[in-house]
Amino acid sequence: MLTIVWDVDDVLNDLMRSWFEQEWLPAHPDCKVDYAGITENPPHHVLGIRKEEYLASLDSFRLSDKARLMQPNKGIIAWLQRGGDQFRHVALTARPLPTVPPAAEWVFRHFGDYIRVFGVVPSRQEAHIPRYDQSKAEFLQWLSKADVLVDDSQENIEAANSIGVKGILYPQPWNRSELTVPETLDLLSATCELEGKRHPT
């Protein structure tokens, strides 16, 4: 079976939109930016704030009941229900370690029928934390099982491609994808079909 690795935030869930609409906008009603205007990630320059302020707000949201109640990506759920059992699935997130436990619980609650492995690359290293992987690409090299990565970061996609993992860029306002979500999932299906022919079991 091919192995698909799924980014968690802004792919399996809608973290940035949820944070922006439920946390940031209510606290900043004079904000002139809408979600489509978040053309950078992190978006602190777009919002005119310090990066530290943005990260503190996002981390607080990640640990909140609002984040726990985020709905899973319906398009991906439907894609998995149509044929997800033909592949192995891994969730891979880049988060500060203190915010990982609720993310793992959320993933297995919503995607546990398909995703059986959860990986994390700490997004902020602290001196007392062992250093294993510095990037998702390094994690994927160590894992050595990944065939396809679905991620909203152009940088992560390019890094995956450079190590032989096919990257599928999930559309968000801050990346260069020109595809809709349905078109992206169709591309994923086509990529998996092609990779399956190249590596028959």
The DSSP line for 37-106 is: G--SSS-HHHHTS-HHHHHHHHHHHHTSHHHHTPPP-HHHHHHHHHHGGGSEEEEEEEE-GGGHHHHHHH
Which tokens is 89 given?
A: 């699935």
Q: Which residues pair with 115 in a beta bridge?
A: 89
Q: Omega of the bond prior to 42 within 30 degrees of 0, cis?
A: yes
Please identify which residue in the block is written with the tokens 């698909």: 4
| Token pair of 60 as six digits | 């607080």
Q: What is the residue whose two structure tokens read 């398909």?
A: 114
Same domain, 123 and 63: no
- pLDDT score recorded for residue 131: 85
Q: Are 98 and 142 contained in the same domain?
A: yes
Asked whether residue 164 falls in the same domain as residue 95, the answer is: yes
Q: Are residues 40 and 82 in the same domain?
A: no
Domain containing 127: what range? 3-13+72-198
Question: Cα separation of 42 and 152, whole Å?
Answer: 12
pLDDT tens profile 65-102:
999 999 999 999 999 999 999 999 999 999 999 999 99
7 and 62 in a common domain:
no
How many domains does the chain contain in total?
A: 2
pLDDT digits (tens, 9 = 90+) for 41-68: 999 999 999 999 999 999 999 999 999 9
State the pTM of this model. Answer: 0.96
Shared-domain flag, residues 38 and 127: no
d(CA 181, CA 131) in angstroms, rounded, equals 35
pLDDT in tens, 29-45: 999 999 999 999 999 99
Element (H, E) at 110: helix 100-111
pLDDT > 70? residue 201: no
d(CA 93, CA 162): 19
pLDDT of residue 200: 66
Residue 142: give its domain's CATH number: 3.40.50.1000
Question: What pLDDT, on a 0 to 100 scale, did the predictor assign at position 198?
Answer: 72
Q: How much is the mean pLDDT over the chain?
A: 95
Position 143 pLDDT exceeds 70: yes
Q: Which residues contact 176 (CB under 8 A, 6 or more apart)?
A: 154, 169
Written as six digits, the tokens of 170 are 């999930």
Length of the chain, in residues: 201
53 and 92 belong to one structural domain? no
Tokens (6 digits) for 32? 């002139």
Do 167 and 102 lie in a common domain?
A: yes
Q: Please state, in angstroms and rounded to a whole number, the distance separating the CA atoms of residues 43 and 57.
A: 12
- Share above pLDDT 90 across residues of the chain, in percent, rounded to a whole number: 92
Peptide bond into 130 cis (omega under 30): no
